A and B are shown apart, each in its own frame.
Chain A
Amino acid sequence: AQSVAQPEDQVNVAEGNPLTVKCTYSVSGNPYLFWYVQYPNRGLQFLLKYITGDNLVKGSYGFEAEFNKSQTSFHLKKPSALVSDSALYFCAVRPYRDDKIIFGKGTRLHILP
């Protein structure tokens, strides 16, 4: 079965430190990969995506993600965390030649002042 895993329910990082939110996937073919963020009482907002090309993609608010085909991972990173980055982060996959979208369960990111 096709799936997306976000192995950490919660990640705590001190402000100013680098952060990583992990995502691995299990789908056939070459998928489209996305990260979305959800702030409290809000809908989801797009952060970044990988379709093809350079494995390192840059997105909104200073976030970036690295596509690793051999490890089937798409981890979200930021060099220096801000308190305002505290939110719920979702990894999503659109399998190749499929119209469905599969989301991970989400990772709650806490940035500690």
Chain B
Amino acid sequence: EAQVTQNPRYLITVTGKKLTVTCSQNMNHEYMSWYRQDPGLGLRQIYYSMNVEVTDKGDVPEGYKVSRKEKRNFPLILESPSPNQTSLYFCASSSRLAGATDTQYFGPGTRLTVL
């Protein structure tokens, strides 16, 4: 089954404690992206990656890091989380090959609470 998986689904942590949210896709997609969803603000793109070892900032990259060492994985790293990073996070992937639909497939989301 084609899917995007994220782990963990729920996480409560404390300020300053480094954490990683994993994202993996099994569709051989080139493009992967992280978003955060906040009430009244919709989805905002944090980082995206066009392919292995190619990453770029979205609209709200401050306080986040990403890496793309393998095509299927795109982890989101919060090195020193703060309460304003409490949010619902989504990973997504899509194909950017010529003629591809460019439709994004989303993971189930990770609800992060930073105390």
Residue numbers of A with Cβ under 8 A of B are 6, 9, 32, 34, 36, 42-46, 49, 51, 90, 92, 94, 99-106
Among B33, B40, B103, B107, the most chain A Cβ lie within 10 Å of the Cβ of B103
User: Min CB distance, B46 to chain A, in Å?
Assistant: 11
Q: Counting CB contacts under 8 A, is B12 at the interface? A: no
Distance in angstroms between the alpha carbons of A49 and B103 in the assembled complex? 8
On chain A, the residues within 8 Å of B109 by CB distance are 42-43
Distance in angstroms between the alpha carbons of A15 and B106 in the assembled complex? 29
On chain B, the residues within 8 Å of A105 by CB distance are 40-42
Q: Identify B42's interface contact among A42, A49, A99, A103, CB under 8 A.
A: A103
User: Min CB distance, B7 to chain A, in Å?
Assistant: 14
Q: Interface on chain B toward A: helix, strand, loop, or mixed SS?
A: strand
User: Min CB distance, B75 to chain A, in Å?
Assistant: 18
Asked if B42 contacts A101 (CB within 8 A), the reply is no
Distance in angstroms between the alpha carbons of A5 and B90 in the assembled complex? 21
Q: Counting CB contacts under 8 A, is B84 at the interface? A: no
Distance in angstroms between the alpha carbons of A90 and B42 in the assembled complex? 8
Q: Counting CB contacts under 8 A, is B74 at the interface? A: no
On chain A, the residues within 8 Å of B50 by CB distance are 99
Tally of contacts, chain A with chain B, CB under 8 A: 57
Distance in angstroms between the alpha carbons of A46 and B93 in the assembled complex? 12
Chain B interface category by residue count: 20 to 34
User: Min CB distance, B77 to chain A, in Å?
Assistant: 20
Residue numbers of B with Cβ under 8 A of A are 4, 31, 33, 35, 40-45, 48, 50, 56, 58-59, 90, 92, 101-109
Q: Identify A101's interface contact among B101, B104, B107, B108, CB under 8 A.
A: B104
Q: Identify B107's interface contact among A9, A43, A49, A90, CB under 8 A.
A: A43
Closest B residue to A47 by CB, please name it: B103
Q: Identify B102's interface contact among A6, A49, A102, CB under 8 A.
A: A49
A–B Cβ pairs within 8 angstroms, 17 of them: A9-B40, A32-B102, A43-B106, A43-B108, A43-B109, A44-B43, A44-B90, A44-B92, A45-B106, A46-B104, A49-B101, A90-B43, A92-B43, A99-B56, A103-B35, A103-B43, A103-B44
